[in-house]
Amino acid sequence: MEKIAIIGAGSWGIALAQLLANNGHDVTVWSIIEDEINMLKEKHEHVDKLPGVKLNESINYTTDLKGAIEGKKILVLAVPSPFTRSTAAKMKEFVTKDQLIVNVAKGVEEATLMTLSQVIEDEIPQGNVCVLSGPSHAEEVGRGLPTLVVVGAKKKVDAQYLQNTFMSDVFRVYISSDILGIELGAALKNVVALAAGIADGLGFGDNAKAALITRGITEIARLGMAMGGKFETFCGLTGIGDLIVTCASVHSRNRKAGYLIGQGKTYSEAMDEVKMVVEGVYSAKAAMGLAEKYDIKLPIIEQINKVLFEDMSAREALGNLMLRDKKIENPGVEWED
């Protein structure tokens, strides 16, 4: 049995708390919101984020960050990406070098163009930062539905340790050394999912969505490999796998926000209606910053930025993608003559 802190009581943090508690671990959930903690203590259910999921009664809940962190081997950082830096800064004085910090949020920081593990390392230099990602909606993990994910770590021994901690008969965990590739796939797929949702909102059909998913992973891999990520990572669970589920699932907040934008709402109105943080909106500008830094063309992500921040209509943006210059799909495949 391991002692584990979940830092953040959103849907994903609570789903992982449930998984880990059911695996027999000693789990403490921290939230800065006192009413949220009181509700979890009283009802053993997150009635707003994971309604209907009755939580393991062994889970502890607290608003005391120091108390949550001290004495724990694993710290699962599960706050939304815009709050990763500020939360890590609060954690810094309590974290020791023998603790593992597992980031499970998805995004790129707009101001610095850092991945979230880099942000955490910037704030907690003594931290041993790992990541967990993959096609894993909290609504399904919380209900114990079969899910496959990947743990990324600098040291194989740490990855294997986390693999053994998280893995269950319904939650299969693979391991990888490609932390950068895992995080980029996780962050950028949210932007492509906005595009897929917009296409649905416009009524464009399954053909258009399949094209956006396929060309979307091409863009993600193009940028990710330029930054040092591995091609195989983008072909795996944290690349194409996570992209598929985020573009297609009814649970996807990014797809839902895109759908609302496709129906004519602004991104602010869409975010208000979704009632949860839409990570793709925050990652969209960062993705374009990375594209400029590494001189990489990202047509889908570029058009999404124009819809979000330049008042371009959704229909015009997707039309621009259809009318781009004629291309060869795979320039590396040679003609016979």
Whether 209 is covered by a domain: the verdict is: yes
Same domain, 12 and 153: yes
What pLDDT shows up at residue 275? 72
Whether 260 is covered by a domain: the verdict is: yes
Q: Which of 123, 147, 177 is the last residue of a domain?
A: 177
Q: State how many domains the chain has.
A: 2
Whether 108 is covered by a domain: the verdict is: yes
What CATH number should be reported for the domain holding residue 309?
1.10.1040.10
Instruction: Say whether 325 sits in a helix, a strand or coil.
Output: coil
Same domain, 32 and 158: yes
CA angle 151, 81, 227 (to 5 degrees): 60
- Between the alpha carbon of residue 164 and those of residues 57, 109, 172, 174, 248, the distances in Å are 23, 30, 10, 10, 30
What is the Cα–Cα distance from 77 to 106, expressed in whole angstroms? Answer: 11
Whether 335 is covered by a domain: the verdict is: no
Report the catalytic residues: 189
Same domain, 37 and 147: yes
Same domain, 22 and 154: yes
Instruction: Say whether 52 sits in a helix, a strand or coil.
Output: coil
Q: Which of 128, 145, 177 is the last residue of a domain?
A: 177
Whether 331 is covered by a domain: the verdict is: no
287 φ/ψ angles, rounded to the nearest 5 degrees: -60, -40
Same domain, 18 and 127: yes
What pLDDT shows up at residue 272? 81
Same domain, 144 and 274: no
Residue whose entry in the numeric block shows the structure tokens 């710290």: 75
Same domain, 28 and 172: yes
Whether 210 is covered by a domain: the verdict is: yes
What pLDDT shows up at residue 321? 82
Mean pLDDT by runs of 10 across the 337 residues of the chain is 96 97 98 96 93 96 97 96 96 96 94 96 97 95 97 98 98 98 94 92 91 93 96 96 91 87 84 75 90 94 91 86 75 77
Round to the nearest angstrom and report the end-to-end CA distance of the chain: 64
What pLDDT shows up at residue 337? 67
E-strand ranges in the chain read: 3-7, 26-30, 60-62, 74-77, 100-103, 128-133, 147-152, 171-176
Enclosing domain of residue 167: 3-177
What is the Cα–Cα distance from 181 to 176, expressed in whole angstroms? Answer: 10
Whether 192 is covered by a domain: the verdict is: yes
Same domain, 33 and 158: yes
Same domain, 18 and 116: yes
Same domain, 164 and 264: no
Whether 328 is covered by a domain: the verdict is: no
Q: Which of 130, 153, 177 is the last residue of a domain?
A: 177
Same domain, 36 and 79: yes
